[in-house]
Amino acid sequence: MRRLITTLAILLVVIVAGMTALVLLVNPNDFRGYMVKQVQQRSGYQLKLDGDLRWHVWPQLSILAGRMSLTAPGAAQPMVSAENMRLDVSLIPLFSHQLSVKQVMLKNAVIRATPDSERQRPQNAPIGPADSTPAEPASGWQYDIGHLRIVDSLLIWQQPGGEEINFRNLNLDMTQDRRQSAALDVATSVSRDQRTLQLALKGHMKIADYPHRLSGNVDTLQWQLSGAGIPADGIKGDASMMASWQAENQQFSLQQIVASLNDSQLNGEISGKWGIQPDLKVALHATTLDLDKLFGINIDGVSQQAQAAQLAAANRPPVIAVEKSWSGASSPLTGMHMLLNLKLDAVRWRGLDLHSVLLDAENRAGEISLNTFSGQVGAGRFSLPGAVDVRQPVAKIALQPQLQTVAIKPLLRAFRLPQALDGTLTLNGELAGTDLDMMAAKNSWQGSAQANVQNLQVATLNIPQMVQRAISRSSDRLSADEASPDGTIQQLSGKMMLNKGVITLSQLNGEAQKLSLTGAGTVTMPTEALDMQLAVKINGGWKGDDRLIAALAESAIPLRIYGNWQSLQYSLPVDQLLRRQVEDAAKSRLNQWIDRNQSNEKAQQLKKQLQR
């Protein structure tokens, strides 16, 4: 044991002495020109090192550099610039005055993926024909670095003509092996519009054909979105996929996507071509998609966004900037072409449980066509084709809704309207407006529809019972043959016109138990009021004076329902109708008596009085 310890101590002394002598004998600045030349030959990029290079011995033999930059040929700005760079080198090659870099570490770096940092074509360079075949990719990775680390850095990404996006707190660890594959571990965050997106990625890449081609697997991609307008718990999830990229035509493909989004699950693929105007194709399938949790929708009370806004307002710092107002013309949809195909087995939206939802849409630079948007809601079905135009500062929306036997009460609850109606609705119509939200739909949309309601029930409003009680109170010559008639209106149809929150109903025709009605009216959503003018006919259900029963069957009883939704009032002037019926019956009997007594002088005087 003593000999072993002695041997190790001697070996340690030799290594320390050798490294000390190496530091004293080898000047790291001698490798400056070599490094610049190697980078130039392998990539064409220009490496610039400011200040002297110096040794760092413990715990790893390294060369430390000050400010550095790496610039593409003809670029206006460097692709990479950093305050500090560390090169971990192998010890043995240094004895023969050779440099073997094992790891490059950049700290506080700025990486630019912008048009100003890209390689530029020389002014006098010849341009090949547009249909020429691209040159074969060079073999081997031009950036031949075994291990690259980037710590606490910034990535600036910008598409031509687009806005810059800053990826802050960038930490990257990439290791390359001799099989020309690389392992990636990346973490970063993006902040825009008072929202923060945190990203973390682990995966593997095949880099034999870089920079012309890249392919690999994303083993884990985790994200979390938080901030203004986001639920308090945020939107988070993870995904895995296979990815590929071709630089010549800027095509990419994401296949075998398996992703989670809070409690929702998605799978499918995304492919397309990147460039000045991206061309994307998205095909996704979801077994479950809970939009209420994703967007913090709570239709029974204050939404999570509103709660978060109230909390933020209570602790809001002084305002130093005004948030830029949203403009449809600035939407990213105006700069791309996209085909979207979604198949959703189960969707929850504003409390509605939708099933078998299909969405087939196409975006042409901000002009969106909803070719198919259909599904099941409860026992009914819906279809909502249409078009959305976001090319202008204010979006324009045109829809052709079609509903088949959709339950009314859940629909009213979804739109935050009083749940005073129940039944099933069948509707065909056309709607147009601006802004796709509930406030705009209630206040500024316009359109028309033909509607039919089956088994309509109005809470606290039983029209047959109202008529029955009113007639029973006004006349002792009639009595109902039923104690409490059913208030259900089996069928009601009519036309609807929507104009800035006011729904005008016309050509109403309904059938209930021993009752029929016609009429028209208005429903005002901004003030939550209505005014309905109905004409009700009794088709039986009475005992008593047969003549009066027959007269009621032929007469329309006026019924007006008006007022606020929460406290409706009604007017049913049955006594006037009955009085008129009695008067008409009396006049009829007098006319009959006069006709039988034409020669009677008293009858002639009575006839003159009736004519007056």
Q: Do the domain assignments include residue 70? A: yes
Confidence grade of residue 7 (pLDDT, cut at 50, 70, 90): low
- Answer yes or no: are the C-beta atoms of 537 and 559 closer than 8 Å: no
Confidence grade of residue 188 (pLDDT, cut at 50, 70, 90): very high
In this structure, the answer to whether residues 519 and 562 fall within a common structural domain is: yes
- pLDDT, tens digit, 9 for 90 and up, residues 82-120: 988 888 777 666 655 566 677 888 888 999 988 888 877
Q: Do the domain assignments include residue 15? A: no
- Following DSSP, what letter does each residue of 372-426 receive, concatenated? EEEEEETTEEEE--EEEE-SSSS-EEEE--EEEEEEHHHHHHHTT----EEEEEE
* pLDDT value of position 130: 47
Query: Can you tell me which residue has the tokens 């770096």?
Result: 109
Distance of alpha carbon 284 from alpha carbon 265, whole angstroms: 10
In this structure, the answer to whether residues 556 and 589 fall within a common structural domain is: no
In this structure, the answer to whether residues 41 and 63 fall within a common structural domain is: yes
In this structure, the answer to whether residues 596 and 465 fall within a common structural domain is: no
* pLDDT value of position 336: 87
Q: Do the domain assignments include residue 520? A: yes
Q: Encoding tokens for residue 229? A: 């307008």
Mean pLDDT of the chain: 79
Distance of alpha carbon 256 from alpha carbon 343, whole angstroms: 16
**Domain end position, chosen among 156, 176, 196:** 176
Max mean pLDDT among 74-83, 132-141, 237-246, 551-560 falls in: 237-246
**Range scoring the smallest mean pLDDT among 142-156, 200-214, 391-405:** 142-156
Determine the straight-line distance between the first and last CA of the chain, rounded to whole angstroms.
141
Distance of alpha carbon 5 from alpha carbon 2, whole angstroms: 5
- pLDDT, tens digit, 9 for 90 and up, residues 589-610: 555 555 555 555 555 555 555 5
In this structure, the answer to whether residues 526 and 611 fall within a common structural domain is: no
Query: Can you tell me which residue has the tokens 């825009």?
Result: 192
* pLDDT value of position 447: 93
* pLDDT value of position 143: 45
Does the pLDDT of residue 224 top 80, yes or no? yes
Confidence grade of residue 140 (pLDDT, cut at 50, 70, 90): very low
- Answer yes or no: are the C-beta atoms of 509 and 456 closer than 8 Å: no
- Answer yes or no: are the C-beta atoms of 65 and 52 closer than 8 Å: no
The total of other beta-carbon atoms located within 10 Å of residue 279's CB is: 15
Q: Do the domain assignments include residue 558? A: yes
Max mean pLDDT among 119-123, 385-389, 463-467, 537-541 falls in: 385-389
Does the pLDDT of residue 587 top 60, yes or no? no
Distance of alpha carbon 273 from alpha carbon 256, whole angstroms: 18
In this structure, the answer to whether residues 467 and 566 fall within a common structural domain is: yes
- Radius of gyration of the chain from Cα atoms? 40
Q: Encoding tokens for residue 274? A: 């990147």
Does the pLDDT of residue 157 top 90, yes or no? no
Provide the domain count of the chain: 3
- pLDDT, tens digit, 9 for 90 and up, residues 301-344: 544 444 444 444 434 444 333 344 444 556 778 888 999 999 99
Q: Do the domain assignments include residue 455? A: yes
Does the pLDDT of residue 29 top 60, yes or no? yes
* pLDDT value of position 291: 87
In this structure, the answer to whether residues 523 and 612 fall within a common structural domain is: no
Confidence grade of residue 2 (pLDDT, cut at 50, 70, 90): low
In this structure, the answer to whether residues 534 and 588 fall within a common structural domain is: no
Q: Do the domain assignments include residue 327? A: no
- Mean per-residue pLDDT for 28-44? 80
* pLDDT value of position 596: 58
Distance of alpha carbon 340 from alpha carbon 509, whole angstroms: 42
Nearest Cα to 108, choosing from 194, 169, 60, 188? 169
In this structure, the answer to whether residues 537 and 425 fall within a common structural domain is: yes
In this structure, the answer to whether residues 481 and 610 fall within a common structural domain is: no
Contacts of 347 (CB under 8 A, 6+ apart): 286, 288, 289, 290, 291, 353, 354, 355, 357, 375
Confidence grade of residue 571 (pLDDT, cut at 50, 70, 90): confident
Biggest CA pair distance of the chain = 158
- Answer yes or no: are the C-beta atoms of 474 and 542 closer than 8 Å: no
Burial class (CB in 10 A: 0-12, 13-18, 19+), 252: middle
In this structure, the answer to whether residues 563 and 589 fall within a common structural domain is: no
- Answer yes or no: are the C-beta atoms of 99 and 34 closer than 8 Å: yes
Q: Do the domain assignments include residue 183? A: no
Q: Helices (DSSP H) in 403-491: which residue ranges?
A: 408-414, 438-443, 463-474
* pLDDT value of position 519: 93
Does the pLDDT of residue 27 top 80, yes or no? no
Does the pLDDT of residue 385 top 70, yes or no? yes
In this structure, the answer to whether residues 30 and 167 fall within a common structural domain is: yes
Q: Helices (DSSP H) in 285-371: which residue ranges?
A: 291-295, 304-314
* pLDDT value of position 541: 61
* pLDDT value of position 404: 95
**Domain end position, chosen among 176, 195, 223:** 176
Q: Do the domain assignments include residue 263? A: no
Does the pLDDT of residue 265 top 80, yes or no? yes
Confidence grade of residue 462 (pLDDT, cut at 50, 70, 90): confident
* Structural domain range at position 519: 401-572
Confidence grade of residue 198 (pLDDT, cut at 50, 70, 90): very high
| DSSP state letter for 260 | E
Q: What is the CA angle 416-418-421, rounded to 5? A: 120
* pLDDT value of position 328: 53
